């Protein structure tokens, strides 16, 4: 998992697989799923327990991913229109790559404070979800306000054009 996160972070800085992101995500997903199934197989579950565990795990992962996309997408769409977006993307990717390298080092048995800090940050899910929800609400409000202002300005321009005398 740490290696796939590192690849994703590097890809965010410089595309490694342009146009093949869905394929790469599918391959990583299969790899993660196989690793999880091996963990379940070591538990010696019955076929029914194994199937229900895999189904519950996959549904849970998909629901959490959908929630996070719904919370993050509005803010990301707003940020994508800003001049600072490339710097934010690279900064976020570098932070993510640093954490992934820390996790890789940790798996090799090397002490790594970066991995511990990233793991600690991940344990504050309520705070992170709250920040994402507030940011999503703020982004949706900003987009809505922008659309209202543009619509009013467009209406004025149409009104001015309609009231000008024909030449």
Tens digits of residue pLDDT in 100-121: 888 888 888 887 777 677 677 7
Tens digits of residue pLDDT in 24-48: 888 888 888 888 878 888 888 888 8
Contact of 13 with 92, CB cutoff 8 Å: no
Distance between CA 107 and CA 122 in Å, rounded? 17
Question: According to the model, what pLDDT value does residue 162 have?
Answer: 47
Distance between CA 93 and CA 112 in Å, rounded? 19
Global confidence as pTM? 0.62
Question: According to the model, what pLDDT value does residue 164 have?
Answer: 55
Distance between CA 161 and CA 110 in Å, rounded? 70
First to last CA, the chain: 69
Question: According to the model, what pLDDT value does residue 62 have?
Answer: 86
Task: Give the pair of three-digit tokens for residue 59.
Answer: 């549904």
Residue of 61, 60, 54, 6 whose CA lies nearest to 34: 54
Contact of 16 with 7, CB cutoff 8 Å: yes
Question: According to the model, what pLDDT value does residue 159 have?
Answer: 44
Weakly modelled stretches of the chain, pLDDT under 70: 115, 118, 154-167
Conformation bin of residue 19: beta by default, left when phi > 0, alpha when psi is -120 to 50: left
Distance between CA 75 and CA 82 in Å, rounded? 11
């Amino acid at each position: 998992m740490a290696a796939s996160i590192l690849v994703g972070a590097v890809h965010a800085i410089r595309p490694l697989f342009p146009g093949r992101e869905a394929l790469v995500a599918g391959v990583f997903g299969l790899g993660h799923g196989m690793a999880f199934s091996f963990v379940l197989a070591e538990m010696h579950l019955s076929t029914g327990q194994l199937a229900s565990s895999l189904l519950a795990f996959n549904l849970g992962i998909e629901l959490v991913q959908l929630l996070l996309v719904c919370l993050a997408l509005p803010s990301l769409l707003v940020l994508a229109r800003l001049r600072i977006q490339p710097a934010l993307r690279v900064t976020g990717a570098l932070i993510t790559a640093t954490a992934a390298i820390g996790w890789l080092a940790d798996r090799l048995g090397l002490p790594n404070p970066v991995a511990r800090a990233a793991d600690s940050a991940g344990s504050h899910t309520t705070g992170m979800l709250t920040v994402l929800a507030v940011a999503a609400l703020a982004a949706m409000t900003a987009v809505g306000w922008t659309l209202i202002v543009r619509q009013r300005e467009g209406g004025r321009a149409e009104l001015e054009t309609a009231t000008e005398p024909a030449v």
